[in-house]
Amino acid sequence: MLALLAPGQGSQTPGFLAPWLDLPGVADRVRWHGTVAGRDLLTAGADPDFPDVVDTAVAQPLIVAAGLATAPLLGDLPMGTPVAGHSVGEFTAAVLAGALDPSAGLALVGERGRAMAEASARTDGGMTAILGGDADEVERAVSAAGCVVANHNGAGQAVAAGPRAALERLAAAPPAGARLRPLSVAGAFHTELMAAAQRVLADVAAGVSAKDPRLPFVSNADGAVVDRGSELVARLVAQVSRPVRWDSCMQTLGAMGVTAVIELPPAGTLTGLVRRALPGVRTVALRGPDDLDEARALIAEFAHVDVSPLLPWRVLVAPVGGTFRAEPVVPGDKLPEGTEVGRVVSHRDETAVRTAHGGVLVEWLAQDGDPVAPGQALARLHPETADVVA
C-alpha cells in the first residue's frame, strides 16, 4: 500500500517553491491559495531573501499551499491511498482526502496561522527538539521542568514546548543520553498556551461544511483513521493546543500495510522519520521537480491493484488498535448512519465503531474478541441508504 504525507511547519526553507513555479498550473494555484489565505505566498515561497518565511502567519498557509499546488502533478492516486500530515500538514491531507474544499482549507489555515502568531506574541513560549534518550525518561524530564512533549515524532525524536523559563530548566537538566536543540519558532505550539488560537479557529471552523473523506485520513491526535468529516474538522481545531502524535500515525501506517510513502513539498522531514521508524518502507521526498518521475513510477506500481471486488461496498475500519467487541448485529441488518456496531477496547480506553453511512451489513471481516490494528477492515456494508431510516 502507498501513503501520501504532508509536512508541517519548520520544513520550509527560503526559496524552496521557486523550482516548482515553472511547472504547469503551480504558480496559478499558489497565487489563488495566497488570495484565499490573505498572503502573497508566491513571493514568500519563491524569493530566497524573503524575510518572513519563518513567520507563523506566513509559513503555515505557505506549506499547505505548496502541497496542494504540487499534488496534482502526481496524477491519480491508487484508490484507498492513506493520507497523513504533520501538524499544519493535516490541512493539506484533509483537502487531498476530499474532506475539505481547497479554498476552505486555505481559509482555515490562514486564520490558524494568524491566531497562533497572535497567541505566541502574548505568551513567552518556545519549543526545543529532543534527540535520543529513553522515551519514558524524556517524558519525566520534560514534565519535571514544567513543559510538555508537544510533538511525539517517533524514531527517537520529540519536541518539548512551554514557557521559556521551563525550557531553560529543561536545558539545565536534560534527559539522560539526549541532545537538546532549541527551535526557531514563535511560541509553544500544541500546548495550552495556544488555547486562544484554538478558540479563534473553532469560531471560523463552525461555518465550514466538511465531507466524509474519500481516502483514509490518519489523525495526529492518536493515529486513528477518521472517516467522518465533522470529526475530522473537530480534530483539526483541537490539534492547535494538543500534542502531535506522529509516532502513532506511523504505527497506524505500518499496521495498515503501507510499504511506500511519498512526501509533498517542502519534503524531507517526514520521509526521514519513516525511514527510521519503519525500516524497509520505500520513500520518495519531493524536494524538487526532478523527484516527480520517481514518485509517478512508484504510484504506477500500486495502480494495478484491483479494488473492483470492493465496489460498491463500503468497508468499516477500526479507528484505533485493540480488541474488537461486536454488537449483536448480523448480516442482512439495515444500519442507519451513526449506528454503533461495536467497540475497540485497549488497555487505556474504549472507542466506539460507528457506521459513517447508512447501509446493509453484508459480512463481518473481524469477529468479537479479535485483536485489530488501526485501519483494519471490520465489516462490509452495501450502501442501500434509500431504505434505511433513523
Catalytic positions, written as ranges: 87, 190
H/E run at residue 154: strand 148-154
379 three-class SS: strand
Instruction: List phi, psi (to 5°) of 378.
Output: -110, -35
| Residue matched to cell numbers 480506553 | 349
Q: List, edge to edge, every strand of the sheet that includes 225-226.
A: 225-226, 217-218, 83-85, 2-6, 260-263, 282-285
234 three-class SS: helix
Q: State the number of CA atoms in the 13 A half-sphere of 149 facing the CB.
A: 23
What CA–CA distance (Å, rounded) separates 74 from 300? 10
Grid cell of 362 as nine digits: 453484508
Q: Which residues contact 290 (CB under 8 A, 6 or more apart)?
A: none
Count of all residues that appear for the chain in the document: 390
What CA–CA distance (Å, rounded) separates 255 from 317? 12
- The closest alpha carbon to 381, from 322, 326, 330, belongs to 330
| Residue matched to cell numbers 525518561 | 137
- The region that residue 284 occupies, defined by phi over 0 for left and psi between -120 and 50 for alpha, beta otherwise, is beta
Strands 260-263 and 2-6: parallel
Grid cell of 40 as nine digits: 502573497
Q: List, edge to edge, every strand of the sheet that includes 359-364.
A: 314-317, 377-382, 359-364, 334-335
Residues forming a β-bridge with 380:
315, 363
